Each structure stands twice: as structure tokens, then as C-alpha cells.
Structure 1
């Protein structure tokens, strides 16, 4: 049909919606999240779960893009459910939405494979931004969580080849591992220059190579990688 007949040519297809499964043991929270997500363009709620076991079961059946996961749930908690989803449905991402911001909650959830971590007092705008970021393959961490990570890792020690005991992952060199540890410690580029006595250009080169090798898009993703792969040890 021609444009003269009222149908425009070359109309791009609409992007597929981000399919979300909501998992929370409180029905008021579940219903509220369904209403909230329902008014966001390009986001579709495909189901809700009352606990971690139901979240895994429904995710296997409904194949959502993202599970918006609470942590403190009965039967199977959110961290255990996240680990099971990473194993069974590697294409399904988990975005944690919880009240817990302590190390004992954050670190296990990230180790289990969560791609994002939000607190329940976050804004609707941040929830939407986090969903879109995680859907695009990036990591989203609430500012409070980022602060907790930096504080917890403020006394970390970068691994040495002898302590690692084996070849470093993803082709990282010992110097890149050292720089990665300092990034996880929260140091800026200038502070890394001072600590290692190298130039700004050299630091940037190391960081660019690190990000390429580990598939990180930003420092938050690099911190998560460093922690999950044993590049830092808390004192």
C-alpha cells in the first residue's frame, strides 16, 4: 500500500516489551508493583510469585526477561532462587528489590548472580531505569548499596599471582588484577596513579583493557566482577 493510501512506509517495528516476573511474599507489595510496572511503557508483568520456589517454577514456565526479586521470602529465599535461576535460565536476569542493605544480604545476592540491587524506598523512576539497564545487559546498584560495597571493600588487598594460585581469569595480567582490586577499593584514576606510581594514560589503558576482558561497561560492574571472582578479600 502506498503513502497516498494513508499507510506510511518504513515504519519501524515496536520493540518487544521487557517481560517481568514479580516475586515478593507480601501481597500488598506485589499488587503495588504490578500497578506501578503496568503504567511503564514497554514493560509487561507476566506473573507474580509469593516465594522463591514459586518464582523459579513460574520463571521456567513463563520465561520472563527479568525477575524482580525480594530476598526475605519463605520456602526458598531470594538469594537461593537467584542462584537456581542463573543455573537453569541463564538468559533470565534477576533484579533484587528488598529492604535489606547489610553485607550479609548484598554480597550473597550478587554472588548468586543478581544483576541489580534496589532498596524498597527507591523511586519509581529508578525502578524503571534499573529494569531497562538490566534488560540491556548492564548492572544497576542502588547508591546505598554502592556505598556499602565501597565501605566493605575499603581495606581490601589485591591478589598476587602466588595467592591466586592459578592463571588469572579472562586473560587478566597481574598488573590489571592489581588495578581491578584498587577499583573495587573505590579509588579514582588519580588515586590509582599515585598508589602505583604510573601515569594517567597508563591507568586509562589498564582500565579499558580490564573492562574489555571482563565485559564491564562501568566501575559498578567491575566492582561486582572483582568481588564475585575473588579479586578482593575483606579484612
Structure 2
């Protein structure tokens, strides 16, 4: 594997200070070796920590440029620790050191102030490039983190549309809502009337009233029910 050169165009570069946080001391040691041995002197690991509170205290004293942050830690997890680090008077850049699970990790970490992600299995040169890149204010998202972020946003959008549809259905009177749901299942007016123990004329009236309230036709209301993804009826 190649290392990142200490000099670019013959001009020595200042060392970038890095702090590593992981609840596994072996991971901390491995990352220290990677950052030290493959950076050509460009990176200096100022400290390693196995918990969030200690990491924040180290950052207060050492003023690291970049923190590599694990997510799953006892007590203050990586998301909360990231938020605390970014609130310091001299906040470091934070790169999440993670396997990117469970779902929602990327979105939550970005909201807390993280600027990118590094997999613990990334090649050393890739890890170093991301550390140096974030110091140039360039977000560092590897393929896995980009894929998860897109997935999280898609799930969030689905939930938002589902909740909106459910709210619209819940705005209807109970009997009208029941008629709309039955119609969405493909029942005719006569079948809806039989299921609800009402006349066919009343079933039609319920659907007509619901359509007026929602400003939708029968097909649109069926799609609304589909989007609401209602739980199975008991």
C-alpha cells in the first residue's frame, strides 16, 4: 500500500492532529498505527479514548483538527459525543468510524455535526485521504454511507407521505372513513352496504361526502388509502 506523502510540490505541510474514539482499545491502536505509519508524517494522533466523556476532555485540551468517532459506545454514544465536540469553542471536524448500522445512523450523525464517514475496513490510504480531505472542508462520504443516507431519506419520505395520508383519512367521520377504506379494497357500493349494515344509498352518500371533504374522486381516495399503509384490521 502507498502512503500519503509528507510534502506536496516540495513544501512541507503542517501535521494534522487526530483523536480516535472507539470503545474497543484494539481498534484505537489499529487506527493509530494506520494514521501514523501510512501518512508520511502528515498526521499526528494526539490521543485515543474508549468513551465519549474522555474524548470531549481530550479535545478541550488538545484541540485536534479531526476526530474519528465510533457510534456504539457505552454511556454517551457517538452521536451525542459528536454533538458535544461540535459545541466546543474550537470544534474539531468529526468523521464517523463505523460499520453504518443500524438504519438512520448517517442522518443522525450528520444532524449532530459529522462531516463524513470512514469504515473500519477501508484501506489505509483511503482513511488518510478522508481525514485530510475533511480539513479542506470537503465532506467525506464513502459509498456505503451515501447508500445508507439515500435509503434513510427514502424511508423518511415514505413515512412522511404515509402519515399525511393517515391524517387525511382520520379527518373523516368514522363511517365515511370506513366506507372509503372498503371501497379501496375493491368492494362495490352494494358490498360496502352489506359489510356496514347500511343501505346502498347510504353507502354511496358516505363515499360522496368523503370525496367532497377530501376533494378527491373514488380512484384518488383508493390511492390515498394505499399510501396510508393502514395496519390490518382485527
TM-score interval, smaller chain: 0.5 to 0.7
Structure 2: how far apart are the matches of 1:88 and 1:152?
A: 28
Q: Deviations over 1:156-178 (max 9, x none)?
A: 49xxxxxxxxxxxxxxxxxxxxx
- Structure 2: where are the runs of 5+ without partners? 1-8, 159-234
Structure 2: how far apart are the matches of 1:13 and 1:130?
A: 21
Counting matched residue pairs gives: 149
Give the deviation of 1:142 after TM superposition.
1.5
Structure 1: how far apart are the matches of 2:135 and 2:14?
A: 11
2:147 maps to what in 1? Answer: 147
> Larger radius of gyration, structure 1 or 2?
2
TM-score normalised by length of structure 2: 0.59
2:33 to 8, 11, 35: 35
TM-score normalised by length of structure 1: 0.58
2:106 maps to what in 1? Answer: 106
Q: 2:71·2:79 contact (CA, 8 Å) conserved in 1?
A: yes
Structure 1: how far apart are the matches of 2:96 and 2:30?
A: 16
Q: Are the structure 2 counterparts of residues 90 and 109 from structure 1 closer, same or farther at C-alpha, using a change threshold of 3 Å?
A: farther
SS of the aligned residue for 1:139 comes to: coil
Give the deviation of 1:71 after TM superposition.
0.8
What pairs with 1:17-166 in structure 2 (closer than 5 Å)? 17-39=15-37, 40-41=39-40, 42-154=42-154, 156=157
Q: Deviations over 1:79-112 (max 9, x none)?
A: 1010011111454110111123333322111100
RMSD value over aligned CA atoms?
2.3
- Structure 1: where are the runs of 5+ without partners? 1-10, 158-235
Structure 2: how far apart are the matches of 1:112 and 1:28?
A: 26
Give the deviation of 1:72 after TM superposition.
0.7
